[in-house]
Structure 1
Amino acid sequence: MTAVRAPGMWKRSSDVRVGFLYLLPSIILFAVFLFYPMIRTIYLSFFLTDQNGNAAVNVGFENYSYLLTSMEFLNSMKATGLFVLYTVPIGIILALFFALLANEKLKGIGFFRTMYSSTMGISVAASSVIWLFLFHPSVGLFNRILLAINLPQIQWLLDPEWALLSIAISTIWMNTGFSFLILLGGLQNIDEHLYESSRIDGADYFYRLRRITIPMLSPTLFFIITISLINAFQTFGQIDILTKGGPSQSTNLIVYSIYREAFINYQFGTASAQAVILFIIILAVTILQFKLLEKKVHYQ
């Protein structure tokens, strides 16, 4: 006996096919540029490879065990952790401060909004070249200022104690514009009636900031914290231009270590293993954020 499909089932089946056709271009793009590279990276992490990146010898988890006992890789993880700690909190606090200033209804505030967000229009390469001149040991602006106030000059990019901090300063400057614009947009979406009611009740500025602004801005702050953390773990351009991982491996962040291992040392197996470890770290940090921070997000 032949089963007869109801008209509703035919319609749903047709909708699924049409929906799949609409999604097909995105699925192809994701498969080519995301899923295949990810699967290939995981596959290569279990092999020793030749100079062309082809799998040669299956070594199982030896690449991972080697990395977890390698002082060079552990130093890269430490440098990456310090870099994230330097850049993310300070960058978000600065962006929030500027956004609060730019949100005030003052004459000429549009000029300052443009200035605060201007770093978004400058590429990482151009920004890094600018900072390369600022950090120059003899003609750089920073050392000239130190010299003018009779303080010892600093080898910003040549001293292992200062190099990572110098990279962090330039990164904060580069990323502040994006965070500022997102936070400013979030501030301007807060209902003005909430502030008017609090003023009538006699609340001062800091009370409004603590009880209205921050809670209502919490979804935007949560987004910025998540994106900033991921971007900090993936920093590469300014490292390559300013220090190339030096001096003494003090700025050899994990992403730059992956690049060196794959395209300078031609060790694609260990580079892939580093990439997998970095993926696991970012995934764990992101999940932790959602577990701990999302509970404090106030959705309207």
Structure 2
Amino acid sequence: MFLTNTLGKTTVFNGLGNYTDLLGSPEYIASLGSTLVYVFAVTVLTVGIGLLLANLASKRLPGIGIFRTLYSVTMGVSVSVAAIFWLFIFNPSTGFFALLSNLLGLPVINWLTDPTMAMWAVIITTVWMNLGFTFLILLGAISAVPTTLYEAASIEGASERRQFFKITVPMISPTLFFVSTITLIEGFKSFGLIDLITKGGPTNSTNMLVYRIYKDAFYSGNYAQASSEAIILTVIIAFFTFLQFKFLEKRVNY
């Protein structure tokens, strides 16, 4: 609620001025919108893909242990290594997608220079990074479901799809609620991959709230604005977490 100098020391009491300035700024509203899109996509894709992979890996198939290891390997990859890996993949000249486009005779996508594709680039990278943790947690939950339930359902003639939605999902609903909440919060806090891959660009299309706080504080020296942004982000995370507990927890079977 103060203005600050370049060293971060308070100078003049500003009341709610910092907040009204932010909420009236088109750039800040754009960052907020980009963050909400990013968090929603990351949460849905991470939990959804993690659940499908965990359900597949729970089957007793030949060589399934190798697939379990491959799915969970991202837990041992640092953010910097992941960024280098994906920067190479997204490279418009020698990257995997560029080579695939050339092979199929399709136009090459500029993943990191097109605003829309840059957003998808950080979403894909974040989902890939988060998938290992989500996969392992959900695999453990699915493995703990009593096999007698599936045996009884098979005797009654229930298909695997019906067993998945009527047995697996309800039985692991507490774990699903846990990973969705954790993924949502982590999505709002994303920083490392954005800093290393896009640096908030192009044209601020991936300038998420946390990265904006970082730039305003340590690049622009506007600590008052950055502090206000941090408070707003805290309120937003608390609000969405409350919504999850309010509406999603009702569907959890303990």
TM-score w.r.t. the length of structure 2 is 0.98
Number of the residue aligned with 1:233:
188
Partner Cα separation in structure 1 for residue 177 and residue 183 of structure 2:
10
Once the 2 structures are TM-superposed, how far is the Cα of residue 184 of structure 1 from its aligned partner?
0.2
- Detail structure 1 runs of 4+ shifted over 2 Å in the superposition: none
Number of the residue aligned with 2:137:
182
Once the 2 structures are TM-superposed, how far is the Cα of residue 147 of structure 1 from its aligned partner?
1.1
Contact residue 45 and residue 127 of structure 2 kept, 8 A: yes
Number of the residue aligned with 1:250:
205
Contact residue 58 and residue 143 of structure 2 kept, 8 A: yes
Judge which range, 218-227 or 78-87, deviates more.
78-87
What value does the CA root-mean-square deviation take over the aligned residues? 0.9
Number of the residue aligned with 1:34:
none
Partner Cα separation in structure 2 for residue 204 and residue 237 of structure 1:
43
Partner Cα separation in structure 1 for residue 110 and residue 125 of structure 2:
15
Partner Cα separation in structure 2 for residue 247 and residue 200 of structure 1:
56
Is the partner of 1:245 in helix, strand or coil? coil
2:225 to 265, 270, 281: 270
Contact residue 64 and residue 273 of structure 1 kept, 8 A: yes
TM-score w.r.t. the length of structure 1 is 0.83
Is the partner of 1:293 in helix, strand or coil? helix
Once the 2 structures are TM-superposed, how far is the Cα of residue 89 of structure 1 from its aligned partner?
0.7
The C-alpha deviation readout for 1:137-182, integer Å capped at 9, x for no partner, is 2111111111111111111001112111111111111111110000
Partner Cα separation in structure 1 for residue 198 and residue 109 of structure 2:
15
Number of the residue aligned with 1:102:
57
Contact residue 86 and residue 165 of structure 1 kept, 8 A: no
Contact residue 40 and residue 184 of structure 2 kept, 8 A: no
Judge which range, 78-87 or 247-256, deviates more.
78-87
Is residue 135 from structure 1 mapped to residue 90 from structure 2 by the alignment?
Answer: yes
Is residue 67 from structure 1 mapped to residue 13 from structure 2 by the alignment?
Answer: no
Partner Cα separation in structure 2 for residue 186 and residue 224 of structure 1:
11
Once the 2 structures are TM-superposed, how far is the Cα of residue 275 of structure 1 from its aligned partner?
0.5
- The alignment covers a number of residue pairs equal to 254
Partner Cα separation in structure 2 for residue 140 and residue 147 of structure 1:
11
Judge which range, 197-206 or 165-174, deviates more.
197-206
Is the partner of 2:11 in helix, strand or coil? strand
Is residue 298 from structure 1 mapped to residue 253 from structure 2 by the alignment?
Answer: yes
Letter in 1 for 2:31: S
Once the 2 structures are TM-superposed, how far is the Cα of residue 186 of structure 1 from its aligned partner?
0.5
